[in-house]
Every structure is written in structure tokens, then in C-alpha cells.
């Protein structure tokens, strides 16, 4: 698990800045898929490596299973970014990001709900410590 939270914090700030730029340009009200492709473009323009729609395996009784879970964006292989564009409660988004962090054994994730007048109200930072189990 990534122990360098300072490095992750810097990366997450860069990603949040990219999210703000997308939100500033598009505003709320679009589909999640539109925000995902635009954020991917913004990250690429900023030179930040990422992958889209990364499979999240589930380990069950000695087998690694594909349960259909997908991370919207995995940035630099170490920061999960889960996007929403709905009125979903912040606790559901936080729980989803935490579950992905546990399954991927990563330390930091961002939940970003673009369906906000001010994007800052839709950003949730989630930390997973190694003492938490999946």
C-alpha cells in the first residue's frame, strides 16, 4: 500500500484542479460519462498518467473473480477517482471509494460528484489505512 501520503496529496490536488477546470467549463447537469471523458482529456493535457474503467477484482475463497466492478479513473496506478453526476448521498460515494481502495490495496481515493453548483461541495477524499480489512 502507498505510504507516501504527501506525494498522494500533491497528486490528488492536481486531479482536483483538473476536475474544477472541467466543472468550470461544463457546469453541472451532464451525464457522468461526459465528465469522465472530459476529465480524461484534462488529465492528458496536464501530463498526468491515468487509466479509465479499470477492473477491480474480488478475492473470494482463494479465487480472483471479476464481479463487474470498475474504477472510473486510476491515476498513476495509485489514486482512485470515482465520478458521479447525480444527487446520490455523499456517504454512498465515500463507501464505494473505500471499498475500491480496500479491494485494490491502495491508500487514497477521491469521490467527485459533478452535480453541484460549486464542485468543492462534491469532492470527497477517502483514506484507507492498512488496518482496515476488505
pLDDT of residue 66: 85
C-alpha grid cell for residue 104? 485494490
Residue-range definition of the domain harbouring residue 60: 5-127
pLDDT of residue 18: 97
**How many structural domains compose the chain?**
1
Q: For the chain, which residues score pLDDT lower than 50?
A: 1-2, 132-134
CA distance 110 to 59: 23
pLDDT of residue 131: 56
Domain membership of residue 134 (yes or no) is: no
Domain membership of residue 31 (yes or no) is: yes
pLDDT of residue 109: 96
Domain membership of residue 132 (yes or no) is: no
* Closest alpha carbon to 114 in 53, 40, 33, 35: 35
Domain membership of residue 133 (yes or no) is: no
pLDDT of residue 75: 97
Residue 46 · residue 18 · CB < 8 Å: yes
Domain membership of residue 79 (yes or no) is: yes
Domain membership of residue 74 (yes or no) is: yes
pLDDT of residue 59: 87
Domain membership of residue 11 (yes or no) is: yes
Domain membership of residue 15 (yes or no) is: yes
Amino acid at each position: 500500500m502507498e505510504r507516501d501520503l504527501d506525494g498522494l496529496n500533491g497528486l490528488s490536488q492536481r486531479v482536483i484542479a483538473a476536475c474544477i477546470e472541467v466543472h468550470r467549463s461544463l457546469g453541472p447537469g451532464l451525464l457522468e460519462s461526459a465528465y469522465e471523458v472530459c476529465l480524461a482529456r484534462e488529465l492528458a493535457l496536464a501530463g498526468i498518467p491515468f487509466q479509465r474503467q479499470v477492473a477491480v477484482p474480488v478475492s473470494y475463497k482463494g479465487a480472483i473473480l471479476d464481479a463487474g466492478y470498475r474504477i472510473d479513473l486510476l491515476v498513476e496506478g495509485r489514486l482512485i477517482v470515482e465520478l458521479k453526476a447525480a444527487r446520490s448521498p455523499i456517504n454512498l460515494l465515500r463507501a464505494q471509494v473505500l471499498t475500491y481502495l480496500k479491494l485494490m490495496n491502495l491508500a487514497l481515493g477521491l469521490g467527485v460528484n459533478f452535480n453541484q453548483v460549486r464542485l468543492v461541495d462534491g469532492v470527497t477524499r477517502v483514506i484507507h489505512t492498512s488496518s482496515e480489512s476488505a
